[in-house]
C-alpha cells in the first residue's frame, strides 16, 4: 500500500480534528449592527432584538427568519418595515423538548409609523426552545405553517372579515374526532392568562377529518389581534392539554387594502406606540 | 466541449458502455439490496404505526407516523443502508478472481471513480427516497420529503455525513485487501471512539453546527469568518478530501 494513499486517507481526519479544536476558540458573538439589550431578574431574562429590513430585502424575500441570539433568550422584539402597500403576516415556530414547560406569556403588536413591533416573552427556565419569527410577504399566497400550537399566529383582521382556516395536525394521533369547535383566544396580559376570547359570530366546521379540519369563522369585533391560539374545546370543556394537540395551522388570505388597514388601526385597542407592556 | 469528454482519462461513450455493463452485471445485487430495504421499511412502518397507535390515547384508524419520526427514519435508514451499499460496492475486489476481472476492465480509474460517485451520491439516494415515499402510507401533505421542508439547511448536515461516510466506506474497502467490510467497520468504530473521547468533548458544538442551526443569527465580523472556517474544515474539506482519497486509492489499487 502506498504511503501517499494512507496519507490521503488520514488527511480528512486531521483536518476534521483541526476544525474541531479550532471551534473551541470561536464562540459566536452577537453582531454590533443589531441593538441588543438584556436584563436579568430572578424570574425572566429580557432581551430586545431590533432589526430593520430594507424595502429591497422585503421585496426579494419570501420568508425572513429571525432567530434568538441564543437558545436561552426569553424575550425579544423585532421591528420590521411596513409600508402602505405591503401587508405582513408574522408567524412563529417554537420547538421545545418539553412542551408542557413552555408557554408564551405575552405577544403583542405595536403598529407605529408603518412598522410592526412584536414582543414575545417565554419563561426563562426553558433552555431548549428555539423561536423563529418568519414574515410572509404580500401578493403571494400566504401560508402560515406553525409546527407548534403554542406558537399560534398573528394576523391583522378586519371587522366582520371571514377567515378560512385549515388546521393541520402534524401529530395526527392527537387531533382525533372529539373536538366540536375551536376557539380563538386573544391574550395580552403578562401572566399567561387568556383574557378574552374574541366574539365569533359564526364558526362553521366545513370539513373534518383526522388529518385536517377546515372551518370558516367571522369575527364580530374589529380588532388588531394579538397572538392567537387555536384551542380545541373537547366536549365543551376546555382543557389545556388539548390546546397542545393542534400542532399546525395553514392559512391563506388576501392582503389588506390601505383603507382596511386604516379602519383596522382605528378599531385597535392598542394605541400606536403602545405595547401590551404599557397597558395597565 | 465534446473534446473534453473524449480524452484518455474520460471518454464519454466508453463511460456509458461501462455504466451499462456495470448495471447488467450488478442488477441482481442491487435488486436484492433494495428489496431488503423495502421489506425492512415496511416492517418498521407497521411496527411504528402499531406501537404508537397502541400507546396513543386517541388513536386514529391508520398508522401514526408523524413527520419528525419520518425524518428520523429516513435519515437513519439512508445512513445505515447507504453505508452498506458503499461497503459492498468494491466488495468484489476482496476475491482475487473477480478483482482481476474488475481491474482488467478497459476504463480509466477516473471513470470507475465517477461511476462509484454517481451511484452512491445520486442513484442510491434517489432510489431510496422513491422507495421511502412509495412505502410510507401518508397523504402527501404529511409526508416527509427530504430537502423540501422549511428547515432544509439543517438537513444538509445529514447529507454531508452521508457523503463523507460513503467516501470512507469506499476508501477503506479499497485499502484493505482482505475482509475489507469487517476491517472498515472496525476502523470506523475506533475512529468514532477516539473522536468521542478526545476531540468532541473539547469542541464547541454551537460553532460546529453554526451554518446549519444559526444561519441567520446576528453573528458577524471575525466571529463569522471563524465560524465559516470551522464549517469548512469540519464539514466541507473532510468530505472533499475523502472523495479525493477514493480516487487515489482506486488508482493505487489498479497499479498494485
pLDDT higher than threshold 90 for residue B242: yes
Residue with the three cell numbers 411496527? B47
pLDDT digits (tens, 9 = 90+) for A59-115: 443 333 343 333 333 333 333 333 333 334 444 434 333 222 223 233 333 333 333
Q: Are B44 and B73 in contact (CB under 8 A)?
A: yes
Residue with the three cell numbers 378560512? A164
Q: Which of B163, B155, B152, B144 is nearest to B82 (CA)?
A: B163
pLDDT higher than threshold 60 for residue B238: yes
Provide the shortest C-alpha distance from residue B217 to chain A (in Å). 6
- List the single range of B61-70, B84-93, B101-110 with lowest mean pLDDT: B61-70
Question: Of A12, A21, A210, which is closest to B242 when you measure between CB atoms?
Answer: A12
pLDDT digits (tens, 9 = 90+) for B31-86: 999 999 888 888 877 776 665 555 544 444 445 566 667 778 888 889 999 999 99
Could A170 and B204 be called an inter-chain contact, meaning their C-beta atoms sit closer than 8 Å? no
**pLDDT in the model for residue B204:** 75
For range A154-169, the mean pLDDT: 40
- Rounded Cα–Cα distance for residues B175 and B192 (Å): 19
For range A140-154, the mean pLDDT: 28
Q: Are A30 and B218 in contact (CB under 8 A)?
A: yes
Could A22 and B226 be called an inter-chain contact, meaning their C-beta atoms sit closer than 8 Å? yes
**Mutation choice for B interface testing from A35, A173, A178 by most B CBs within 10 A:** A173
pLDDT higher than threshold 50 for residue A260: no
Question: Of A21, A28, A172, which is closest to B223 when you measure between CB atoms?
Answer: A28
**pLDDT in the model for residue B96:** 77
pLDDT digits (tens, 9 = 90+) for A113-135: 333 344 444 443 333 333 333 33
Could A19 and B233 be called an inter-chain contact, meaning their C-beta atoms sit closer than 8 Å? yes
Could A173 and B141 be called an inter-chain contact, meaning their C-beta atoms sit closer than 8 Å? no
Q: Which residue of A has its CA nearest to B176?
A: A1
**pLDDT in the model for residue B187:** 93
The answer to whether residue A207 neighbours chain B at the CB level (below 8 Å) is no
Q: Which residue of B has its CA nearest to A64?
A: B216
Could A176 and B59 be called an inter-chain contact, meaning their C-beta atoms sit closer than 8 Å? yes
Could B203 and A29 be called an inter-chain contact, meaning their C-beta atoms sit closer than 8 Å? no
| Complex prediction ipTM | 0.84
Q: Which residue of A has its CA nearest to B248?
A: A5
Question: Of B56, B68, B164, which is closest to A173 when you measure between CB atoms?
Answer: B56
A234 contacts in B (CB within 8 Å)?
A: none
pTM, 2 dp? 0.55
Q: Which of A179, A196, A178 is nearest to A187 (CA)?
A: A196
Q: Which of A166-175, B69-78, B206-215 has the highest mean pLDDT?
A: B69-78
DSSP state string for B48-93: HHHHHHHH-SS--SS----HHHHHHHHHHHHHHHHHHHHHHHTGGG
The answer to whether residue A37 neighbours chain B at the CB level (below 8 Å) is no
Residue with the three cell numbers 475506533? B190
Could B237 and A34 be called an inter-chain contact, meaning their C-beta atoms sit closer than 8 Å? no
pLDDT digits (tens, 9 = 90+) for A178-201: 233 333 433 333 333 333 333 333
B210 contacts in A (CB within 8 Å)?
A: 28
The answer to whether residue A24 neighbours chain B at the CB level (below 8 Å) is yes
- List the single range of A268-272, B58-62, B215-219 with lowest mean pLDDT: A268-272
Question: Of B60, B210, B248, which is closest to A176 when you measure between CB atoms?
Answer: B60
Which residues, including other chains, have CB under 8 Å from residue A255's CB and lie 6 or more apart? A86, A87, A138, A139, A142
For range A245-253, the mean pLDDT: 28
**Mutation choice for B interface testing from A3, A5, A14 by most B CBs within 10 A:** A5
Alpha carbon separation from A134 to A89, A146, A165, A257, B84 (Å, rounded): 8, 10, 19, 22, 40
The answer to whether residue A8 neighbours chain B at the CB level (below 8 Å) is yes
A36 contacts in B (CB within 8 Å)?
A: 218
pLDDT digits (tens, 9 = 90+) for B122-165: 999 999 998 888 887 665 555 677 777 555 667 888 899 999 99
A2 contacts in B (CB within 8 Å)?
A: 252, 256
Provide the shortest C-alpha distance from residue B2 to chain A (in Å). 32
A 54-113 → B contacts, CB under 8 A: 63, 65-67, 69
Amino acid at each position: 500500500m502506498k504511503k501517499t494513499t494512507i496519507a490521503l486517507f488520514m488527511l480528512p481526519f486531521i483536518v476534521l480534528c483541526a476544525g474541531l479544536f479550532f471551534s473551541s476558540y470561536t464562540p459566536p458573538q452577537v453582531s454590533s449592527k443589531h441593538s441588543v439589550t438584556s436584563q436579568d431578574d430572578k424570574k425572566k431574562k429580557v432581551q430586545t432584538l431590533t432589526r430593520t429590513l430594507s424595502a429591497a430585502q422585503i421585496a426579494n424575500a419570501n420568508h425572513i427568519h429571525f432567530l434568538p441570539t441564543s437558545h436561552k433568550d426569553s424575550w425579544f422584539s423585532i421591528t420590521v418595515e411596513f409600508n402602505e402597500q405591503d401587508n405582513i403576516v408574522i408567524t412563529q415556530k417554537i420547538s421545545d423538548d418539553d412542551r408542557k414547560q413552555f408557554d408564551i406569556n405575552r405577544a403583542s403588536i405595536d403598529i407605529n409609523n408603518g412598522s410592526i413591533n412584536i414582543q414575545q416573552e417565554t419563561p426563562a427556565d426553558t433552555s431548549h426552545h428555539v423561536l423563529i419569527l418568519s414574515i410572509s410577504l404580500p401578493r403571494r399566497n400566504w401560508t402560515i405553517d406553525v409546527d407548534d400550537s403554542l406558537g399560534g399566529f398573528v394576523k391583522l383582521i378586519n371587522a366582520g372579515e371571514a377567515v378560512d382556516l385549515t388546521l393541520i395536525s402534524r401529530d395526527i394521533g392527537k387531533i382525533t374526532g372529539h373536538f366540536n369547535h375551536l376557539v380563538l383566544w386573544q391574550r395580552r396580559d403578562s401572566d399567561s392568562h387568556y383574557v378574552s376570547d374574541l366574539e365569533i359570530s359564526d364558526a362553521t366546521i366545513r370539513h373534518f377529518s383526522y388529518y385536517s379540519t377546515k372551518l370558516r369563522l367571522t369575527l364580530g369585533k374589529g380588532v388588531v389581534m394579538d397572538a392567537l391560539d387555536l384551542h380545541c374545546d373537547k366536549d365543551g370543556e376546555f382543557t389545556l392539554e388539548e390546546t397542545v394537540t393542534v400542532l399546525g395551522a395553514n392559512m391563506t388570505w388576501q392582503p389588506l387594502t390601505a383603507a382596511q388597514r386604516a379602519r383596522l388601526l382605528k378599531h385597535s385597542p392598542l394605541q400606536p406606540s403602545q405595547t401590551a407592556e404599557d397597558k395597565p | 466541449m465534446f473534446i473534453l469528454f473524449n480524452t484518455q482519462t474520460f471518454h464519454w461513450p466508453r463511460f456509458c458502455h461501462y455504466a451499462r455493463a456495470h448495471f447488467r452485471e450488478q442488477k441482481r445485487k442491487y435488486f436484492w439490496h433494495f428489496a431488503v430495504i423495502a421489506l425492512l421499511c415496511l416492517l418498521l412502518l407497521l411496527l411504528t404505526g402499531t406501537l404508537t397507535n397502541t400507546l396513543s390515547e386517541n388513536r386514529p384508524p391508520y398508522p401514526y407516523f408523524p413527520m419528525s419520526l419520518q425524518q428520523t427514519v429516513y435519515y437513519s435508514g439512508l445512513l445505515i443502508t447507504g453505508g452498506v451499499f458503499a461497503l459492498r460496492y468494491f466488495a468484489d475486489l476482496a476475491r482475487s478472481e473477480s478483482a482481476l476481472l474488475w481491474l482488467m476492465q478497459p476504463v480509466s480509474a477516473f471513470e470507475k471513480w465517477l461511476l462509484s460517485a454517481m451511484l452512491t451520491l445520486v442513484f442510491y439516494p434517489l432510489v431510496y427516497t422513491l422507495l421511502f415515499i412509495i412505502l410510507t402510507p401518508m397523504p402527501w401533505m404529511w409526508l416527509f420529503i427530504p430537502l423540501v421542508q422549511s428547515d432544509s439547511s439543517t438537513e444538509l448536515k445529514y447529507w454531508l455525513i452521508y457523503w463523507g461516510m460513503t467516501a470512507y466506506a469506499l476508501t477503506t474497502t479499497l485499502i484493505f485487501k482482505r475482509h475489507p467490510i469487517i476491517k472498515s467497520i472496525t476502523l470506523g468504530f475506533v475512529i468514532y471512539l477516539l473522536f468521542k473521547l478526545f476531540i468532541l468533548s473539547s469542541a464547541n458544538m454551537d460553532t460546529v453546527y453554526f451554518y446549519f442551526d444559526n444561519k441567520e443569527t446576528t453573528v458577524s465580523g471575525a466571529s463569522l469568518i471563524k465560524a465559516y472556517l470551522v464549517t469548512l474544515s469540519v464539514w466541507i474539506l473532510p468530505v472533499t478530501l475523502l472523495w479525493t482519497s477514493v480516487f487515489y486509492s482506486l488508482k493505487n489499487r489498479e497499479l498494485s
